[in-house]
Structure 1
Amino acid sequence: MSFLIHLLASAVLAWSVGAGHLGGGLLAFALLYLLARLLGVAVARLRRYARSLEHGISFCLWFIAQVFLATYHVATLVLARRVDVEPAILAYPVTRREVDKVTLLGTLLTLTPGTLALDYDPEQGLLYIHALDARRREDMTDILIELERRLLAWLDASKAEGVTP
């Protein structure tokens, strides 16, 4: 909750310093972020906040790129003269078994074109995913591992030291 209050306060302050102009607001927001980052050297709470913001922006940009790549892949499959797909249901072992984290992971997978989170088995820690085209299972599991790693790094950025995106 304090993260949202800080983010909202920073955005309002950045907007007012930027006199309502988008460029000035972004510049003021960047300066406020750099100030928080510099003060974060002395204040651990600001350091965690800045690191969480960095991980969040990094994750969002990476995820948007993955959605565009998946959209392009599904579009090429659909628009091909001969549709050649191998749909499959994959059982993915999640790293962390907390229901909220698995729910968020499943929701993000469902947002990605060509994949759908079907079910979660909490006893075995398996998330069942339907993939439209699973001809390259290694690529599919690599993307799942990377998605989970980046998501957990963002969620844990404000808690632990030394987590890398």
Structure 2
Amino acid sequence: MFLLNLLLAIVWVALTGLYEAGNFAMGFILAFLVLRLTQHSAAAVRYGVRVRLLIFFIGYFLRELVVSSLRVVVLVLSRRPAMQPAIIAIPLDVKSDAAITLLGNLITLTPGTLTLDVSTDHSTMYVHAIDVRDVEAFRAGIKNGFERRILELSI
């Protein structure tokens, strides 16, 4: 279904003659809607759910990117930043190498945090954060944020 969606989006771009990311996104959305309305199989329903989860996932990441960027700006511009850096061990529920890599990259792309290492048994990820007031809240934020959404996408 995803490949058919991509193919229809590419056909949309070719037919309109506008080779831009926004036009491709519009073609992808239109193709998704056409596939959703014309396909009634279980695979089409799962595909629709996954695309919706992916869109929410991207929106969540962009929101976290903006919020953490603003936090870092405030820390940098304050006269006497009262930072409390920490290295936090986060137990992992994701198991596949791809999911662990995605989680680590999302954490690293978020300003103020950096993935340092993953344990050899893939059960724990070590993350450095520039300012941590509550370790448990930070850990819960990663687990209930990025990790939960990655698990939802892999279903």
Where on the TM-score scale, by shorter chain, does this alignment land: which range?
0.7 to 0.9
Aligned residue in 1 for 2:84: 86
Q: Classify 1:124/1:21 alpha carbon distance in 2 versus 1 (closer, same or farther; 3 Å).
A: closer
Q: How far apart are 1:56 and its partner, in Å? A: 1.1
1:57 corresponds to 2:55: yes
What TM-score results when the alignment is normalised by the length of structure 1? 0.79
Gaps of 5+ in 2: none
1:68 to 53, 66, 69: 66
1:135 alignment partner, SS class: coil
- Cα separation, 2, equivalents of 1:96 and 1:19: 42
- Cα separation, 1, equivalents of 2:132 and 2:65: 17
1:57-136 to structure 2, matched below 5 A, reads: 57-123=55-121, 125-136=123-134
- Cα separation, 1, equivalents of 2:102 and 2:30: 32
- Cα separation, 2, equivalents of 1:69 and 1:57: 18
Residue-by-residue CA offset, 1:20-43 (whole Å, 9 max, x unaligned): 397877665434322222334x21
Aligned residue in 2 for 1:162: none
> Runs of at least 4 residues of structure 1 off by over 6 A?
21-25
Q: How far apart are 1:9 and its partner, in Å? A: 0.8
Q: Classify 1:118/1:21 alpha carbon distance in 2 versus 1 (closer, same or farther; 3 Å).
A: closer
2:61 alignment partner, SS class: helix
Q: Classify 1:17/1:134 alpha carbon distance in 2 versus 1 (closer, same or farther; 3 Å).
A: same
Q: Work out whether residues 119 and 128 of structure 1, in 8 Å CA contact, stay in contact via their aligned partners in 2.
A: yes
Aligned residue in 1 for 2:34: 35
Q: Percent of pairs identical after alignment?
A: 33
Q: Work out whether residues 93 and 126 of structure 1, in 8 Å CA contact, stay in contact via their aligned partners in 2.
A: yes
Q: How far apart are 1:57 and its partner, in Å? A: 1.2
Gaps of 5+ in 1: 157-165
Q: Which moved more, 1:25-34 or 1:134-143?
A: 25-34
Q: Classify 1:27/1:130 alpha carbon distance in 2 versus 1 (closer, same or farther; 3 Å).
A: closer
Q: Classify 1:81/1:59 alpha carbon distance in 2 versus 1 (closer, same or farther; 3 Å).
A: same
Q: CA RMSD in A?
A: 2.4
